Homo-oligomer: A and B are copies of this chain.
Amino acid sequence: MAGSVNKVILVGNLGRDPEVRRLNSGESVVNLRIATSESWRDKATGERRERTEWHSVVIFNEQLAKVAEQYLKKGAKVYIEGQLQTRKWQDQAGAEKYTTEVVLQRFRGELQMLDGRGGGGGAEIEDSGDFGQRSPLPARGAARPAASGGGGKYSSDLDDEIPF
């Protein structure tokens, strides 16, 4: 459709470690389970209440999948930007089911690690040349984690694999 936008922005915490599936193509797909929550005081009872929402996130973006696989773990706080997709499937009994996921397509979406030390992930992309004073960050969908723990080695390795 002309002129449409389908965007989800989440800031939340991983409920468990990332799940990585390796495709035949060699690419990996990462699934995250992310919790967001709101709390409020119920005026009627005066009690504090909280509602947690769980989101299924699927990362097809190769660079971001690598970052997720290498640096994220249960409890990590992340910023995620993707799009809504609902897919139909059948359970073992043959019943129709629908699942709605937040999807980061190839070359699309964003992932930022928001934890302080040993985890904060900033955008990190190679530039193909100067662009006046605007050189930074021409590319999309990439995240570079800060050195986690013992240094920047993994970070460097990752850098070398980013193809632009």
- A residues contacting B by CB (< 8 A) are 1-13, 35-44, 49-55, 60, 77, 79, 83-87, 95, 97-100, 102-103, 105-108, 110, 112-116, 119-131, 133-141, 144-146, 159, 162, 164
- Do B38 and A137 touch across chains, with their CB atoms under 8 A apart? yes
Report the bound CA distance from A84 to B144 in whole Å.
21
18 A-B pairs within 8 Å (CB atoms) are namely: A1-B12, A3-B79, A3-B114, A4-B12, A4-B13, A4-B35, A6-B10, A6-B53, A40-B124, A40-B135, A40-B137, A42-B135, A43-B128, A44-B127, A54-B86, A77-B114, A84-B100, A103-B134
With A105-B134, A108-B137, A137-B105 known as contacts, the answer to whether A43 contacts B126 (CB < 8 A) is yes
With A86-B54, A112-B11 known as contacts, the answer to whether A37 contacts B1 (CB < 8 A) is yes
Starting from the known contacts A43-B164, A77-B114, A103-B134, 9 additional A-B residue pairs (CB-CB under 8 Å) come to: A1-B12, A1-B13, A1-B35, A3-B112, A5-B9, A40-B123, A41-B124, A53-B83, A105-B136
